[in-house]
Amino acid sequence: MMQETITLEQLISELFAIGKESVGSEELFAKFSAKLQYMAGIDYISIREAYQEKEELSGLEEYAVNTGKPYIDNRLSGYSAFPELIKHYNLGFRSCALVPVSLEGKPVIVATFLSRQEDKFDAMLMPRLSLAAELLAYQAVAKVERERSISLAKYFDAAFNTYAPQMLIDRNGAIVRSNKSASGLFGKTQREMVGRNVSEFFSIDATMLYSLREGSVAEVRESAEQGRIYKASSGKINDRLSHLLLYDVTQLKELEEKVKLAEMGSGETFMLLAKDTTVLWASANVGKVLKLGMDEIVGRRLIDLAYEDKELAGEIGSLNDTLAKPLRLNVGNDVIIDTKAVLVKNQFGGFSCMLSSNNIERYVASMQGALEGLIETASDAIFSIDSLGYIKSVNSSAERLLKYGGNELSGSALASLYADEESQQKLSSSLSLARSTGMVEHMYVNLRPKEAEVPIPCEQSIRSMVDSDNGLVGYMITTKELATKMKLDQLEEDTEELGKRLEGVKEESDLKTQFFYNISHDLKTPLTSIYGYGKLLANSSEGISQDNRGYAEIITKEADRLLQLINQILDVAKLSSGRIKLDVQDVDFNSLLKNPAIGSLIEFAEKKGLEFRVDVDYSVPAIQADPNRLIQVLVNLIGNAIKFTEKGSIGVRIARAGKKSKFIRVEVTDTGTGISKEDMKKLFRKFFQLQRKGLIMQEGSGTGLGLSIAKEIVNLHGGRIGVTSEAGVGSTFWFTLPIAARVKKTAVK
């Protein structure tokens, strides 16, 4: 039974009802087909999904999808260009219609309608079928996208909340979100990490941040002294956000250093191999064994060098623990090296490989010593026990973890170190499993330290040890300590106390800065009056004797000197309190050096008999900076150079800091008295003045503020300042400036 007509209201109502009760697209298509067959009197309906490209379309369906228009044949016959239509005719169908649907230019579905009546798909029915197909396509896509979004969200949340420190950061490096591992590194909550810049915690500058956003990988160190080393990789999520992933490689770096020390005078070489045995790194003495340099061996596969060993690839592919065997390696030019190799699976998914020349006695002794050394220096606690569960030996990390010393643990039952019955049962069952399978990983237990009530949560892995006859001789148990609440609480208390101390220091510093600013500002007004009246008296032509005119000139000169000192103190106070903002403009150094203040210094130097050279490299572009503040820095450095140089020359050189550097380097060089190493350490401190030993003319003493102000201005631009000098030879003061401004373009306050 079927209805003769189908109204739009019925069609839409029924379709949305089906969409609500359907779980997935397949169920949606099936229910839709059944309902539409009944409502429209159509004998057969097929709906193929083009959105996911799960199936191969027929030629007729592909034609309809490519044209993007409905295909209608109301008089099927045994003759047609499409084999599908002939097949439909032979099955008794007399009318056919295909309706393709695309959304946003992408094909989604193609629906095939078949009827045993001729002229079934007329101008009244087709618009309704097309509308139904489009509504169906929207619902199908919505369901697929929703399932996909939920799946991706679950995957990202699961991946983000792993043990590896991860952060979401914006293009400026501000932290948008961090996982518990990342915030736990610094004893902060995830909420406290939000808004902080990643450069506060790691040695990541703007250049490195840009490179990471573009997909590069870099090694970074925690900002804290003796901080850990991480390998940082970043994935760009969108134009605003990046996903930063950090891997702790501190132990690997430490191991590299230990290997470098161990290899001095050693006849063995150590290599890190990828899963396919590609050499990723080799110790510096690799040439002693393989007659190849590090650059020549890195990137080659061990199985390719040992190509005559047909079983090696299979042995490495099935390796669960350790492989030790002699290898004949062809290193090129028909040079064959007989070696002994030990391969051990490492935590990076590849292998650690020890190679030595094929001397059995030396090989056995060196391998045993190397493995014992690695075990002893490992940061994980390692227990060696016999087949009955009694401790044979432990490394120093295990003794530190459980607060035992010397050989106190030797001969003890390992089970006595487990703090509760559940942990002891896990040990017993894991030993049994390791006896049959060789290894058990990720066993979480509580260990009891010596004379302590609080147990230590740990993660353990157990590896069985066998002799040459495959007989069990004992077990090796590796233990990682998990973070305890006690440590976290202590870290939180220490952080809070440090925060209070820093806040007090900052308040005290702010009060000092404000005092300097206020008193200097108050002194400036009367001194300006003294200077003005002194100038007036000195320039007066009547009513003043020559002696009094000289006194007036002294008053004017000293008042001017005091005004300069006060202005410098005000600059220091403003810089320290952040009151000075740079007026950033495009600055051309060739034009900047023509400033009258610098010109007068050049003229003074030449009158003093000094040669003055200026060299601006052709590659120096215009930069974004505050020109007035740069002139202040240059005048200070050039003035000091002239002051401390009796003969010789003064040179100003401006060039890029490097061939592709994004910084400009400015150098002011003199042939003056030079600076001792002790004085160079204090040079940029406030109020520090150099002793002018060896100068013929002792000029008036300065304020000791010029270089500290220059340093603050350079830092404010995002650059660095420094000095190289040799007493009696001369000095070079230098500073760098970024080509692109790193400061906000705000007028000076």
pLDDT in tens, 631-651: 989 988 998 899 889 999 999
- Which residues make beta-bridge pairs with 107? 102
555 SS3 class: helix
What pLDDT score does 49 carry? 80
What's the chain's Rg over C-alpha atoms?
40
What pLDDT score does 578 carry? 58
CA 599 to centroid of chain Cα atoms: 47
Instruction: Determine the Cα–Cα distance for residues 408 and 400; give it in Å rounded to an integer.
Output: 12
Cα atoms in the 13 Å half-sphere on the side-chain side of 187: 17
Better-predicted residue by pLDDT, 99 or 705: 99
pLDDT at 462 over 70: yes
Confidence of residue 4 (pLDDT cuts 50, 70, 90): very low
What pLDDT score does 697 carry? 42
Burial (CB count within 10 angstroms: exposed 0-12, middle 13-18, buried 19+), residue 272: buried
- Cβ–Cβ < 8 Å for 60, 72: no
pLDDT at 381 over 90: no
Confidence of residue 707 (pLDDT cuts 50, 70, 90): confident
pLDDT at 327 over 70: yes
Confidence of residue 186 (pLDDT cuts 50, 70, 90): confident
Query: Which one-letter DSSP state was computed for residue 586?
Result: E
Give the pLDDT mean for 608-622.
91
pLDDT at 667 over 90: yes
Q: Which helix (H) or strand (E) holds 719?
A: none
Residue in the structure block whose two tokens are 């066993």: 443
Give the pLDDT mean for 42-52.
81
Instruction: Determine the Cα–Cα distance for residues 374 and 371; give it in Å rounded to an integer.
Output: 5
> Looking at this protein, which amino acid is placed at residue 189?
T
How much of the chain exceeds pLDDT 70, in percent?
76
Confidence of residue 723 (pLDDT cuts 50, 70, 90): very high
What pLDDT score does 653 carry? 94
pLDDT at 78 over 80: yes
- Cβ–Cβ < 8 Å for 412, 448: no
What pLDDT score does 721 carry? 92
Give the pLDDT mean for 43-56.
74
Give the pLDDT mean for 279-303.
84
- Cβ–Cβ < 8 Å for 281, 302: no
pLDDT at 533 over 90: no
The model's pLDDT over 248-283, given as tens digits with 9 standing for 90+, comes to: 777 777 666 666 655 555 667 888 888 888 988 888
Contacts of 361 (CB under 8 A, 6+ apart): none
Instruction: Determine the Cα–Cα distance for residues 572 and 567; give it in Å rounded to an integer.
Output: 9
What pLDDT score does 366 carry? 55
- Cβ–Cβ < 8 Å for 440, 461: yes
pLDDT at 380 over 50: yes
Give the pLDDT mean for 453-463.
87
The lowest-confidence range among 333-342, 373-382, 740-749 is 740-749
What pLDDT score does 700 carry? 46
Confidence of residue 529 (pLDDT cuts 50, 70, 90): low
Q: Find the DSSP H helices in 180-266.
A: 180-185, 190-193, 206-213, 250-263
734 SS3 class: strand
Confidence of residue 25 (pLDDT cuts 50, 70, 90): confident
Confidence of residue 1 (pLDDT cuts 50, 70, 90): very low
pLDDT at 514 over 60: no
What pLDDT score does 524 carry? 55
Confidence of residue 365 (pLDDT cuts 50, 70, 90): low
Structure tokens that stand for 540 in this block: 């007066």
Give the pLDDT mean for 110-118.
92
Confidence of residue 345 (pLDDT cuts 50, 70, 90): confident
CA 233, 236, 242, 246: dihedral to nearest 10 degrees?
Answer: -10
Contacts of 155 (CB under 8 A, 6+ apart): none
Residue in the structure block whose two tokens are 């739009």: 8
Burial (CB count within 10 angstroms: exposed 0-12, middle 13-18, buried 19+), residue 518: exposed
- Which residues make beta-bridge pairs with 73? 96
Ranked by mean pLDDT, the top range of 147-161, 390-404, 661-675 is 661-675
pLDDT at 486 over 60: no
pLDDT at 322 over 90: no
Instruction: Determine the Cα–Cα distance for residues 49 and 56; give it in Å rounded to an integer.
Output: 10
* 463 phi, psi to nearest 5 deg: -125, 130
Vertex 309 angle, CA 439 and 464, to 5°:
15
> Looking at this protein, which amino acid is placed at residue 478?
T
Give the pLDDT mean for 475-492.
74
Instruction: Determine the Cα–Cα distance for residues 433 and 440; give it in Å rounded to an integer.
Output: 7
Measured N-to-C along each axis, helices 485-539 and 546-577 cross at an angle, to the nearest 10 degrees, of 160
- Sign of the alpha-carbon torsion through 621, 625, 626, 629: negative
pLDDT at 747 over 50: no
- Which residues make beta-bridge pairs with 629? none
Query: Which one-letter DSSP state was computed for residue 675?
Result: -
Gap between the terminal Cα atoms of the chain:
87
What burial letters (b/e) apply to 463-491, b meaning 16+ CB within 10 Å? bbbeeeeeeeebbbbbbebeeeeeeeeee
Give the pLDDT mean for 300-320.
86
The model's pLDDT over 559-612, given as tens digits with 9 standing for 90+, comes to: 666 666 666 666 665 666 555 678 889 999 999 999 988 998 999 999 999 999
* 97 phi, psi to nearest 5 deg: -145, 135
Instruction: Determine the Cα–Cα distance for residues 627 and 647; give it in Å rounded to an integer.
Output: 30
What is the chain's mean pLDDT, rounded? 79
Confidence of residue 162 (pLDDT cuts 50, 70, 90): low
Structure tokens that stand for 452 in this block: 């302590």
Confidence of residue 323 (pLDDT cuts 50, 70, 90): confident
CA distances from 564 to 631, 635, 702, 705 (A): 16, 14, 10, 11
User: Which DSSP string corresponds to 320-342?
Assistant: SSEEEEEEEEE-STT-EEEEEEE
pLDDT at 748 over 50: no
Confidence of residue 518 (pLDDT cuts 50, 70, 90): low
What pLDDT score does 574 carry? 60
Structure tokens that stand for 570 in this block: 């005000």
E-strand stretches of 610-682: 611-616, 623-625, 649-656, 663-670
The lowest-confidence range among 401-415, 504-518, 529-543, 581-595 is 504-518
Structure tokens that stand for 378 in this block: 């490992």
Instruction: Determine the Cα–Cα distance for residues 44 and 42; give it in Å rounded to an integer.
Output: 6
What pLDDT score does 306 carry? 85
The lowest-confidence range among 220-234, 303-317, 692-706, 717-731 is 692-706
Vertex 569 angle, CA 567 and 573, to 5°:
115
What pLDDT score does 475 carry? 92
What pLDDT score does 290 carry? 82
Instruction: Determine the Cα–Cα distance for residues 417 and 423; give it in Å rounded to an integer.
Output: 10
Instruction: Determine the Cα–Cα distance for residues 63 and 80; give it in Å rounded to an integer.
Output: 14
- Cβ–Cβ < 8 Å for 552, 531: no
Cα atoms in the 13 Å half-sphere on the side-chain side of 586: 3
Instruction: Determine the Cα–Cα distance for residues 107 and 380; give it in Å rounded to an integer.
Output: 56
CA distances from 93 to 59, 60, 98 (A): 19, 16, 14
pLDDT at 55 over 80: no
